[in-house]
Amino acid sequence: MRQKFNKLATKSFFDEKNTYLKPEILSINKEKCILEIGSGKGKFITEFALKYPNVTFVAVEMNRHVAYHILKKVKEKNISNLHLIVDSAKNLIYYLNEKTVSSIYLNFSDPWPKKKHHKRRLTHPNYLKIYKTILKRNGKIFFRTDQKEFYFDSSLYLQSYFEKISYNQNSLSLPIISEYELKKRKLGPIYSIEAEGINE
């Protein structure tokens, strides 16, 4: 669904500490760093950051008009341990040093159902190569979707990159869930994958 233009999502609005509109290496001063790619309006990542103040969180959302809602939540809740990157996941290596991320969350990413668009999927090997660079050796990826075909294809992608993988075709609700899962959970099963340990 195409997001509406938000006149409040100006460059000056994003001129905040821990907010990045162009490449710059983040200063991560905590041992654990959790990354969510495609954070949408930020319900999941902001609630997660509030619950664990001693962990560094990074939200990645390339649509500025959507990312506005993340930063708005950060300001309202005075969250100090969350960085916001308003850019494509393709550019993550220009923001994060190698082997600095503990976990990556991919919550209800765009499934790009047409075969010609599969390379745009956030679980496609094009992106997994990037994640392999920024994840710690025993780093994890958590993937959730309501799209069955996307789930099965993603399971195949991930097998070549991780040592341990677990699958669930009817995943239970977590204590913290995204806006999208809140809506989709009523309509059918939620599929999830947890992958751990990078294959070198």
Evaluate whether residue 7 is within a structural domain.
Answer: no
- How remote is the C-alpha of 72 from its chain's centroid? 18
Phi, psi (rounded to 5 degrees) for 42:
90, 10
Catalytic center residues: 110
Evaluate whether residue 8 is within a structural domain.
Answer: no
Beta bridge partners of 141: 104, 195
Report DSSP letters for 15-67, one per residue: -STTEESS-------SS-EEEEES-TTSHHHHHHHHH-TTSEEEEE---HHHH
3-state secondary structure 163-178: EEEEEECCCCCCCCCC
Evaluate whether residue 149 is within a structural domain.
Answer: yes
**Structural domains counted in the chain:** 1
What pTM does this model have? 0.93
The CATH number of the domain holding residue 169 is: 3.40.50.150
Evaluate whether residue 15 is within a structural domain.
Answer: no
- Counting residues of the chain whose pLDDT is more than 90, the rounded percentage is 76
Q: What is the pLDDT of residues 5-23, one digit of tens each?
A: 777 777 777 888 899 999 9
Evaluate whether residue 2 is within a structural domain.
Answer: no
User: Smallest Cα–Cα separation from 44: which of 34, 52, 36?
Assistant: 36
Name the amino acid, one letter, at 160.
Answer: S
Residue written as token pair 């939620």? 190
Evaluate whether residue 6 is within a structural domain.
Answer: no
Distance CA 162, CA 143 (A): 13
Q: What is the pLDDT of residues 98-123, one digit of tens each?
A: 999 999 999 999 999 999 999 999 99
Evaluate whether residue 117 is within a structural domain.
Answer: yes
In the structure, what pLDDT confidence band is assigned to residue 159 with cuts at 50, 70 and 90? very high
Contacts of 178 by beta carbon, 8 Å cutoff, 6+ apart: 40, 43, 44, 107, 108, 144
Residue written as token pair 């947890």? 194
Name the amino acid, one letter, at 161.
Answer: Y
Name the amino acid, one letter, at 74.
Answer: V
Evaluate whether residue 182 is within a structural domain.
Answer: yes
How many residues are present in the chain?
200
Where are any strands of DSSP class E within 69-177?
82-85, 101-107, 135-145, 162-168
Least confident range of 14-18, 33-37, 82-86, 112-116:
14-18
Name the amino acid, one letter, at 57.
Answer: F
Instruction: Give the domain range for residue 100.
Output: 29-198
Residue written as token pair 């939540």? 73
Tokens read off for 130: 């990037």
- Output the CA torsion 150→154→155→161 (10° steps): 180
Q: What is the pLDDT of residue 1?
A: 43
